[in-house]
Structures are given as structure tokens and as C-alpha cells.
Structure 1
Amino acid sequence: MPANEVWQHLVETTLSSLLINTFWLSVGVIAGTSLLGVSLAWFTAVYEFPGSRFFSWALLLPLAIPAYVTAFVVLGLFDYTGPVQTSLRIWLGSELTWFPDLYGRGGVIVVMTLAFYPYVYLMARNAFLTQGKRLLEVAQSLGLNRRQGFFKVALPMARPWIVGGIMLTLMETLADFGTVAVFNYDTFTTAIYKAWFSMFSLPAASQLASLLIVIVFVLIIIEQQFRLRMRFAETKRSARAGGILLSGWKAKAASFFAASVLFFAFVMPIMQLGIWAANSLLQSFDQRYLEFLLHSVLLSAMATVITCFIAILLVYAVRLHSDILTRIAVRIATIGYALPGAVLAVGIFIPFAWLDNQLNEWLSLLFQIETNLLIQGTLGVMLIAYMTRFLAVGHYPIDSAMQRITRNIDEAAMGFGLSGWAVLRSIHLPMLKAGIFTAATLVFVDVMKEMPITLMTRPFGWDTLAVRIFALTSEGEWEQAALPAVTLVLAGLVPIILLMRQTDK
């Protein structure tokens, strides 16, 4: 089908529904993550209740579980043929006409809310730790109770941080492919994939991607306007120590609320995945499974090394030349995280496809050699796509660590005869260890979980755990998908725990 006809078909049939679905999904996830993230952040940062210290770090654990893994666990448990509805029909002796439709918009919003709320929680809690209790005391001295102090004083003061977490959540929602694919909920990312692989129309996929890029850039501009008003101040540790002690039913309610969110977002998926993985271990564990694991680890490790290396170069470039052009160039280089993986896959594939065609024509003309594909479908294209997507994830921790190194150290190094790369190698890199470690763990986890780029750019036969999960869940094989999902979660959980320990230090 010609590209113009494909695009015309999409405009006439599905474009309006894609816009509506994407809009309401974004609104629902923003509302859900804001409610859970801000409330949990406030309780764990300002109050003391049974388990508050445990929940303060445990509520970050859902970051290790990809949203599409939570999606197929929820469907496997609560679908019509799942154990929950089956048991209820037997117990009640009737059809569950009142049971909500999981494949509707609500099911996708709930799953994404459980998967993405830690972004809002993490940033809001950082704000409340330095402001919450102190501002609450000031509000009470003005005659406001705790509830009024939260809504009128603490919440407005924390708004820039909360907006930052919401923007991260929104970007993840727009970039998500696996979750909406599991629920058969059409958004821009699924439409891009279908245009490319079902309709075999790369131009139509690029046109859809371009439209989504416009939407994302508008959101980036809005987010930057909020960030311009952000101000940071160092607060003494003594101001953070000690929380307001809750007692009675309030303490029990806070503990129950935090435990319920942690159960549905992390404990339940892990338990169900473990049960399914144990049942399918003998059937699923074979030589191919070891290849999936090896491919995932190798890709993540290579992408981590390349991304962190480029990030260090960018940070050091700004260190040496802090002019406006250099800063703009770095900002452009790190903007890829705001773009969905499917969009980046299309954007990177098009120029490499053109280059492949040109090389084929030149070699055929000069040497009568048919090369077919030299660049497309190679690991190099995948790694470039990963680096473009996650460069910001590696850049920000390293850049923050570099900001803590005063210029006096550079001047002292120059006094000992060091300059340029020698300063970076001998002075800066040892002092950047913590930032590099943080960047490496975040990039490694994100690459392990990334599905659209891997699915759309991988070489033939180079499947990973994420691709295997997608293939099995597309066929409704929930139990068979559990083993690679458990491995993927564990691989992401270890760096997350190490990162939390490093953050505490």
C-alpha cells in the first residue's frame, strides 16, 4: 500500500481515536500517580507510623518492574479466565456482570499508575524532607491545622518538584509500548509499530512519529517553564530528623495505605511471577532462554559503557567550555529521553536505511557487488538508539557530581603541571565515582526494560528477555512469560537496591 494511502487511511480511521486514547490515558495516569506519589511522600517524610522507615525506601521497589510485566500479571490474575474471577463465580454461583472490563482504559491507567508513581514519590519526598515538617510548624503557628498547612503551605512550596515527577511520569506514559500492547489499547506508540511492521509503511510510521514529537516538545517547553522557578537550598540534617508521631487509627490507616500500594505494585506481581515461573520452569528453561539472558545482559552492559562514556565527555566539555553554544549542544544531545522508544527507532532507522541503500548502489556501480544490508539490523544501530534514548539518564548524575567539584581543584591540578585529559583521568574520574555508579545502574536497568527500541531494531534472531516477554504475552501465554519476567525484574532489582544504599550514603 503506498505511503500516502496508508497515511490517509490512518487519518480517516484511527488518528482521532489515537489522540483521544493518548489524552485520556495521560490524564488518568497523571491523576493517579499524583495522588499516590504525593500522599505517600507526605506520610513517609513528615510522619512516623508503624513501618514508616521501611516504606520510605520499599515504595521505590516498583521501579524495578517494567510496566508491561505488571500489565500481564494483572490480566493473568483478574481476567475472565483468571483465578480471581473463576473463584468468585464459583463462590457466588453467578456471572460477574459487575466486574470491570480490564481491557478498557481504566485497566491501563491503574497498571501504569502502580508502575510510575515512584517518580512522583521520589521527587515529592525530597521536597517534603527539607520543607514539610518545618513549614507545617510555621503554618500551625499561624492558626492552621495540619490539613490546612499541607494544602496551603507545604504543597504549593513543593509544586516544582512534584511537577518534575509528573513530567517524568507523563514522558514514560507517552513512550510506553508494552503495557498498551498487552491491553490492546491503541496509542501513538502502538500505531507507529503497526504502521511499520503490519502495513510495511516506514513513511507513515515516520509521520505518526513526527506528530508525537511535536506533542512531546510542547510538553518539554511547559516543563522547562516550571523548572525555571525551581530553587534549591541546603537544609541541615537536624531539620530533617524526627517526624510527627501518629497514633491510634491514623497510624493504622497510614500503614495500611502504604502496605496496600506496595502489595499491588510490587509484592503481588513478584509472588505471581514466582508461582508461574516455578510451574513453567522445566518447560521454559532451555538453551534459547540462556541466550535471551545473555543478549539482555550484553546489550545492557555495552549500552551502559557507551552511554556513560559519552556522558562523561559531555560533562567535561561543559567544564572546559561553559559557553552558551556548548550548553545548548549538550541540552540537545540529552533530549532523547523525552522521546518514546518507538519514535527514536523510526528516526534512527530512516537515515541508516538511506545510507545502506547508498552504499549498496555505490558498491554495485563500482565493484558489481550486492551488499543488501550492511548497517540496518545490526547491534550498532541498537546501541546508538539506546545511547540516544538514555544519554540524559547517564548525564544528569555525572553532571551533578561534577558540580560538587570546585574550580579550585582544577587550578591546583594545573599548578602541578596537569591539564586537559590528564586532569580528567587523574583528578575528576576518581571524584566522580559515585555519580558514574548512579548513572551506570540507572542506564543498565532502563536498557534491560526497554522494549520498543529492542523490538524494532534488533538483528534477526537477537531476541532478549523483553522481546521474549512481548512475544509470549501477545499470544496470551502468561505463565510462559513469567520466567523471563522474573529474571528481568531481578536483574533490575539488584541495581535499584545498590542505588538506594548509595543514595543513603
Structure 2
Amino acid sequence: MTLLLCLICVLLVLPVLALASAWWSADGQSWATLAHMVQTVMPEYALTSMGIAVGVGLGVAVVGSATAATVTLFEFRGRRLAEVLLLLPLAMPAYVLAYAWTDTLQFGGPVQTALRGLTGAQGALWPDIRNAWGAIVLFIACLYPYVHLLVRGALAERGVPLMEAARLLGAGPARRILAVALPLARPAIAAGTALALMETLADYGVGAYFGLSTFTTGIYRAWLSMGDRHAAAQLATVLLLVVALLVWAEQSAQRRLRFAITRLGAVESHEARPVPLRGGRALLAWTVCLLPVLVGFVLPVLALLRLLAQGGDGGDSGEVGLPWDRFLGWCGNSLLLAGLTAVLAAALALGLGFLRRRQPGPLLQGLVRAVSLGYAVPGAVVVVGILLPAGMVQSLWPQTQAAAWLTSTLAGLVYAYLVRFSAVALHSVEAGYARLPQSLDESARMLGARHAALWRRVHWPLMRRTAGTAALLVFVDVMKELPATLVLRPFNADTLAIIANQFARDERLAEAALPSLAIVAVGLLPVMLLVRSTRPTR
């Protein structure tokens, strides 16, 4: 069992390690292609990606911190409802948000049409949102909960008592926030911002739909348009290095966050309560909380429902509306892929978690950490890391058909999903095992239980809910995954994410509404679990 699990870990890490081979196995044509890209498109990739990352980083830090401080440090009517609503944008993929707001704000959309009818104006009332600034706003609207959750946890632990102590020492509201709350939340802000930036750099749907030249879209252009897998792998390596820096920054901030939560502050007082707000201040607090929810969830869902009610005209294809029989097929494909990956990822996580608990060692620890980094790797990088060695093996030994096994097959697609999302299940299972005391294992061993009996009769009954949560998180992530599915999916096996992207790129937004709403509805499941887990005990 140990050998098998270690071999699986190596297979999951292999696509990332394979990218390094692109630098020493590249031929003259690949270096010429890379040099041409450096002289032509690489500066645009770097500037666009960096500009979007800086804008998103600043935006999620401000919005996430402001909303977390509002619901944690202040008391106003409906505060608990606001805590729930602020988590809803987690269910909204960025590319679905882009489809909804593009239809709402474009020249022929309902907003501009209504305003032109009222004012009699001619022409567009504002520029098209499909640009870098529009992408920044959309990423902020759906990614700010990463910062919000971490800052809220940091402030809830020590923020209210320390704010109360500062008030008793004569500090005003502004000084209490700037001198107490903000320094306390800085590690949480840094960790949440790093997570949001990893999601931003990994995105393909928004960049492709808006026509932006980012590293992720550049990887696909180098591979699919220019036909140079080595240049694509070299671009993927550059993006991977940036993501590795973000992972290091996030982990460093998380360590400081734990220190801040456990060591800062005086003894918590039961008299400490959030500052009550009334009248205009309460209205301002609700404005701070509702604005990102409206932009990131409520209004886009209403826009998709309006499109769904209107139906599609089929564009130039001659179809009328959305073919329901094909929609059920897309749902079946999505559910099959997501369900199979979720079961395999949860089983792998349970096996690794049990093995680490029974036989802790540096080798297994290192492999688990390497697998855990898979979630931070963009889908485009995973695809290149899988196809690059497969293409090399195919060119050396054509009879092996290595590429055929990994491209356009269910096995290759599930493999890519496991590379990316096994870390999600692993983190959940590790958290569950951390809550089980070692005394349970010792008692079971004293009663004669060996490995299989220990897992079956002691661990599994206590870990079933954790395993279910891990599988659900992987299930939702697979349902939303776009880049890996776009390249590796089998023929005639489109998923909801793929078909929504295809309809949107063909400007058939009405037909993209139903698959987009289905993805959002599935995404609400882990959000509800998160709401339950973060609900304070009073």
C-alpha cells in the first residue's frame, strides 16, 4: 500500500516536473520561437498579466478587508444575514461573471437600450467592458471572499477585545481601525491576496473571452496556433515560477497569521462586543456589504435568468433555443467526470492521510507536500505538463500510443483533474485527521486491531463526513474547470463549462445562460457548508 500510494504521488507530480525538460530538450526552432515571442508578444503577456494581478490584488485586499471588518467589528441590524451573503460570490466562476455582465452592459444589452430610450442618445454610452479593467473588476467581485474569510477569522479571534481595550484607552474609531485592526489583519490580507492572485493567473475563460494577451492565453496560442510544445512549456514554466512565489508568500503569511491569532492581545473579555451602529452608519455598513454581493452574485444571476427566460435564437446555426436532450448529455458528462474524480481524489486523500498517521517519514511528507502544490498550478500548465512528455514518448516509440492514452480520453482528463484537485481533498482529510487524538489508535492497537481493522472500525466512522466534504469540494472544482477540459476532453463529450464557453464566444449568451446557471447552482453547495462551518457559536 505504501509503495502504491507513493507511486501515485509521483505520477501526480510528474506533469509539473516535466516542464523543466523543455529547457534542455528544446531544439533550434523552439529557441527561435521563444526569441521571437520575447521580442514580440512576451512583453505584452507580462505587462497585461502583471497589470491585472496588481489591480486584483489591491481590489481584493480593500474589498475583502472592508467587508470583514464591517461584519466583525460592528453590530447592525441584519449583520448575520450579511455574513452569509458575502460568501455567495464564491459560487460564481469568473468566466460566468464575464458572460453575464457582458450581456448586461454591452451596446445591445438591457441597460444601454433602456438609457438610450429614456435620453434619446445615440451610439454607445460607455466603452465595452471586455478589456483589462473590466477583467480586474470581475476578478475582484468573485475573489474577494478569499481575503474576507481570512481577515474575518483573524479579527473575530482577537479583534473585538483589542478594539475594546483601545477604546477604553481613549482611541477614536479611525485610530482603532488603523492602529489595531489593520496591523492584526495584515497576515490574513497577505494570505488571502496571494490565493486570489493564484486564481487570477490561472484563469483562462475571462482572458480568452475578453481577448486579453495573458500568460495563460499565450500558452494555448503557442501550443495550438504556433504548434510549438517547447515554447508553450517554457511559457508555462515562467508562469509556474510566479505561482511558486505566490505559494511561498501565502504559506509565509499563514504562519504569521497563526502567530497573530494565538499570541497577540490581552485576555479576552466577555464584556467586549462589536460597536453598535444606528441610522446612517448602519446604512453605510449595509452598503459596504451589499455592493460586492450585488456585483459578484445577485445581478449576474438575475441577468442569466433573464437570458434564460428569453431563450436563444440559435445564431447562424438555425437552431431555436437550447437543445434540451443535448443539455442533459452535457450534464451527464460533467457529473460523470466530477463524480469519478471526486471519488478517486477522496480515496487517495484518505489513503495518504492514514499512511502519514501510521508511518510518518520525510519521504512521504515530501511527496504529500508536492502533491499539495497541484492546486496552485494553473490548468494550462497542467495540460502542457501532461502533453509534453506524452508527445516525447510518442515520437520516440510510436507503437506505445502514449499520446492517445492521455489526449481525448476519459483517463487523460481524470488524470489532469487529479493533478490539480487532489490537494483539495488532501487538505480536508488532513484537517479531519488532525482532530482525531492519537489515543484512539493506541487503544485500538492494545485491543488487537491491525491496520485494516483500525481504519475500518475506528477511522472510517469518524472520517466519513470529512471524506464527503472533500469529495464535494473536488466535485465542484471539476464542474467549473475550463482550461484542462478544453484541450483534453474526449470527442463528443462536452461539459457544462465547455459548452457555456463555446456559446459565449459565439455570442449566443442566451444559450450559455442555462449551463452557466447549472455551474453556479452546484457551486452553492460548498458555500452552504462554509456558511455552516463559519457560523459563530453564541
TM-score normalised over the length of structure 2: 0.87
1:52 to 64, 75, 79: 79
Q: Report deviation, 1:333.
A: 1.2
Tell me whether 1:26 sits opposite 2:53 in the alignment.
Answer: yes
Deviations 1:12-63 (A, max 9, x none): 2110010000111001011111111111111112222132111101211111
1:408 to 433, 436, 439: 439
Q: Report deviation, 1:7.
A: 2.5
- Alignment check: 8 A CA contact 1:177 1:189 kept: yes
Distance 1:159 1:318 in 2: 33
For residues 98-497 of structure 1, what are the structure 2 equivalents within 5 Å? 99-229=126-256, 230-231=258-259, 232-233=261-262, 243-280=274-311, 283-357=321-395, 360-361=398-399, 373-497=404-528
Deviations 1:363-409 (A, max 9, x none): xxxxxxx8982443211111111111112211112111111111111
What letter is aligned with 1:410? D
Residue 66 of structure 1 corresponds to which residue in structure 2?
93
Provide closer, same or farther for how the CA distance between residues 144 and 43 of structure 1 changes in structure 2, counting only shifts above 3 A. same
SS at match of 1:460: coil
- Alignment check: 8 A CA contact 2:374 2:420 kept: yes
- Alignment check: 8 A CA contact 1:277 1:479 kept: yes
SS at match of 1:334: helix
Q: Report deviation, 1:290.
A: 1.0
Of 39-48 and 318-327, deviating more is 318-327
For structure 2, the residue ranges without an aligned partner over 5 or more in a row are 1-27, 313-319
Of 85-94 and 396-405, deviating more is 85-94
- Alignment check: 8 A CA contact 1:136 1:149 kept: yes
- Alignment check: 8 A CA contact 1:130 1:239 kept: no
SS at match of 1:484: helix
Residue 83 of structure 1 corresponds to which residue in structure 2?
110
- Alignment check: 8 A CA contact 1:352 1:376 kept: no
Provide closer, same or farther for how the CA distance between residues 354 and 47 of structure 1 changes in structure 2, counting only shifts above 3 A. same
SS at match of 1:373: helix
| Count of paired positions | 498
Distance 2:516 2:240 in 1: 30
Q: Report deviation, 1:160.
A: 1.9
Distance 2:297 2:522 in 1: 15
1:92 to 100, 119, 126: 119
Distance 2:193 2:139 in 1: 13
Residue 20 of structure 2 corresponds to which residue in structure 1?
none
SS at match of 2:321: helix
- Alignment check: 8 A CA contact 1:70 1:111 kept: yes
Distance 1:240 1:80 in 2: 55
Distance 1:488 1:97 in 2: 32
Distance 1:251 1:243 in 2: 13
TM-score normalised over the length of structure 1: 0.93
- Alignment check: 8 A CA contact 1:375 1:381 kept: yes
For structure 1, the residue ranges without an aligned partner over 5 or more in a row are 363-369
Provide closer, same or farther for how the CA distance between residues 210 and 264 of structure 1 changes in structure 2, counting only shifts above 3 A. same
- Alignment check: 8 A CA contact 2:372 2:423 kept: yes
Distance 1:98 1:275 in 2: 22
Of 275-284 and 375-384, deviating more is 275-284
Deviations 1:152-201 (A, max 9, x none): 11221222222221111010001011011121111111111122222222
What letter is aligned with 2:489? R
Q: Report deviation, 1:494.
A: 3.0
Distance 1:391 1:241 in 2: 42
Deviations 1:301-351 (A, max 9, x none): 111111111111222222123333322221111101111110011101222
Distance 2:274 2:142 in 1: 28
What letter is aligned with 1:11? V
SS at match of 2:449: coil
What letter is aligned with 1:87? A
What letter is aligned with 1:379? L
Q: Report deviation, 1:113.
A: 0.5
Percent identity among equivalent residues?
A: 35
Distance 1:305 1:239 in 2: 44
Distance 1:297 1:378 in 2: 16
Of 351-360 and 184-193, deviating more is 351-360
Deviations 1:46-93 (A, max 9, x none): 222132111101211111111100011111111122221222233233
1:38 to 55, 62, 65: 65
Provide closer, same or farther for how the CA distance between residues 347 and 241 of structure 1 changes in structure 2, counting only shifts above 3 A. farther
SS at match of 2:404: coil
Distance 1:371 1:195 in 2: 22
Provide closer, same or farther for how the CA distance between residues 374 and 402 of structure 1 changes in structure 2, counting only shifts above 3 A. closer
What letter is aligned with 2:374? G
SS at match of 2:507: coil
Provide closer, same or farther for how the CA distance between residues 494 and 215 of structure 1 changes in structure 2, counting only shifts above 3 A. closer
Distance 1:121 1:328 in 2: 31
- Alignment check: 8 A CA contact 1:360 1:372 kept: no
Distance 2:480 2:299 in 1: 19
- Alignment check: 8 A CA contact 1:178 1:470 kept: yes
- Alignment check: 8 A CA contact 2:390 2:402 kept: no
Q: Report deviation, 1:219.
A: 2.2
- Alignment check: 8 A CA contact 1:277 1:482 kept: yes
Aligned Cα RMSD in Å?
2.4
SS at match of 1:200: coil
